[in-house]
Structures are given as structure tokens and as C-alpha cells.
Structure 1
């Protein structure tokens, strides 16, 4: 495979300020992308990522809104007008036990994880290179395995699974590929965002690690290479696929 498969490409990565999105944005930039547009709601985190590589362009935008989606589209138009890769990484988790269900947090999860990818893909569709563009969605093993106390999140990621396969079929005639990665436990800020202390996060990972056949949880850098592989034009016949990256947890869940 060439060292610079994304030379002269324009890439959009949502949720690009932290975690998997940050790692993916850097991976695309390091592999030759001309412009990597990173989006998110926190300007300071986007600026931190943009400072790491000259190809990364921060665009503060809430892509669950029409105005946010249009801001991303305008950035693409200003930087060549054609989009080669769209990575839907923005997503949130909220605990949602049925006995204490919070309607507002449930709406937040569904708007971010489901409505956001839907709105942004529709807005950017006229700009996607046809043929040749690729869409990669960041889902979760929660989309196909039980998620106790997290059913809303699980449902949102099951929707992402459905988007992946439905859009792959719908966009294949245009030569646009659609794939997804479905990570398991990953060391990101999502746990702190749900109120867990650093000690609680470490305890969670220590507790789950013995159940993972390969013996460790994922780092963002474990997931990013699969995003770039699925986006790589060399994989021109790969579409509609959902790659689980969980150290083998799926083996024990069946």
C-alpha cells in the first residue's frame, strides 16, 4: 500500500477534538491528506488538534443542527469543493436505566449519535466525490450486544449499524463506499463525561480487562488505523462492512 494514499484528499472528521476522532484526524494528515476538517462543539480542543499538523482545519460546529451541518459544508466548498472521506465519529454515551430514565439525556444521545450523522451526510452528499468517496462511521459493539443501563446508547449505535448497510446499498451506484468500525472499551474522555472519577475509570478497566481475550482495552490509536484502512481508495470493493475492534469480547458474548 502507498505511504500517502490520501494525497490531495479532503477529509471531514466529526468529534475530531479528542479520542478516536483526534487520532483519526492525525492519521489522515500524516498519510497525505491535503485538508482534514475537524468538527466539534469545543473550540479549544479543536485548536489543540489543529496545532499538531498543518493540514488540520478546525471548524466549531454542532452537526445536529442545520446551521452546523452547513458550516461544515461551507468549509469543504472553501477548500476545493469536493469531499473524499467523511468520518462520523461524534458520539456520546449516557447511562439510561429504565428505572430512572431521563428524557432529556436520551434525546441528547439520539440527536448526537443518530440525527447528527443523518443531517451531515445529507448536507455533504452533493460534495462527496462520485465515484470514489468513502464514508466511515464510528459505531460500537453496543450496537449489536446488550447494553444494560445503556439501552438508548445501544439503540443509537444499532441505528448507526443500519445506516452503514443501508447507505452502502443506496450509494453503491454512485461509487461511494460506506463502512463502520465498532469499538469495545476504549480509553477516551467518555467515562469522565459521565461523571466517573479517574479512579473509577481505572477500576472499570481493571475489572473488564480479564474478560477480554486479548488482555487489554483499546486505545484510540488502535481504532484509527481501521478507519483509514476502510477509507483507503485501495480498498475499492469493501463496502457495507462493520469491523468490531474489542480485543475479542464478541467471542465471549456469543
Structure 2
């Protein structure tokens, strides 16, 4: 008996037919100029951007990537840990972003913090308290974080009289896109607590999802697929629902990590994120 052969349907595409968020990839130079020339409304003001998040998510790598793209030269000023789940950052460091000349800098700075470790309730509470003090401008540059003990008023790195420039103006939560589904309730609760503290202080918040090339082969193949990726959009929606950041305040980014040469599309994505933060 003969029968008609049946062919299985092709697997669904991992990409949307059209991007669900637009980015002008050809406007890299425009965004670079915007970042370099940005000036806060208040004369002499410096925009302070504080990064926080779990250990090993790429906070330091993001700082290095921003420095590299703006400066036009690969930078490794912020220490990066090579061991998964570990943190290289123990000090509260302020990074000025050099632009055209040796002594010319952008009007914003990036602050790196120790990664969140949620293995004990004490560490979680200490982390939230230290981040809150940093947001208030009460933590001086160079302070060494102690996961077991929050900064005290007797510490020489405690700033009792913060100026407008010492205070944080934008809080950035950095999360590894490949671990969003595995975030524990304790991590989610801590990130929510910090977001609420920032809201109470009137500080706007955004989130960055890093390592996006690890969750989607189509992004690894071509970074321009970032806003066509169904996997990434799902991860962003998952993070939004868990921690409370609206989708339009969440930005995916590909940090420079293994690369030794610049990639124009990676540059464009990094610059678009920095511009949105500003």
C-alpha cells in the first residue's frame, strides 16, 4: 500500500520577524558624541551612576566596556574575576571616563560595588544598608566592603556631610541574563529592597542584563539580533515580573570580555545603553 509521505513542520524561528525595540546601529558616532559632550543642568554637577547586583554578573566588565568605547582603546581598569560566582570588587571605586585627551573626562562617573552574596541573612542586610549609604553619598571612594558588617560612622571612609556630587543620581541593577531563571527568592527580595530604598530617596533606577550572547545563539552570531530574540525578550519579561523594573527600564548589553578588537555593533549597543541611562 502506498501513502503520501508526511514531512514534519519546520521548528519555530528563535527570532521575531521584526525587532520589538529599535536601535539605530548606524548612529554610533552620534551617541558617542552625546555621551562625551553630556553636561548636567546644574553647572559643575557630576552625574554619579551606581552599579550593584549579584556576584559575577559583569559590573566591572561593563565599566571597562564603557571606558573602552568612549576612549577608543581597550581598558581594564576595573578588576574582573575569572572565577564563576566570585567577586573581584571589594572596594567602593569611582571610575571617571576619559574621553579625548589625557586629562579630559565625561561629566558622569561609574561606581562599582561588591557583588551581592545571599548565603546568609546577615550578609543580605549588610549589603542593602551599605548600598543605601552609598546612594546617600555617605561612602567615600576606596571604602573596603565587609560582607559581615555595614560601614560605621567611625570609619574614616564614612562621609558625614555628602555634597550633591557625592550622592548617587542613577541606580543600575546589573544581572546575568543566563541566570535570571535561577535567581533565588533571597536575591530577588534583596534587589527589590534596594530598588525600594532608591525610590524612597528619589533616585531613578534601570537594570542591565549582561551576557546576552550566552542565552541566544542568534545574538552570538549577530549582535543586531538583540531585539529580535524571543529568548532574550522572555528573560527580560521574567526579570521585570520578579524584581519590578518596567520593561522600558531594562537594557540588554554585550560587554567586551574575550575580544581584543572593537566591534562596531557591540559599541553601538553599549553607547545606546549609556545614553539611555543618562
TM-score under structure 1 normalisation?
0.41
TM-score under structure 2 normalisation?
0.38
Q: Which has the higher contact order (CA 8 A, sep 6+)?
A: 2
Larger Rg: 2
Higher helix share: 1
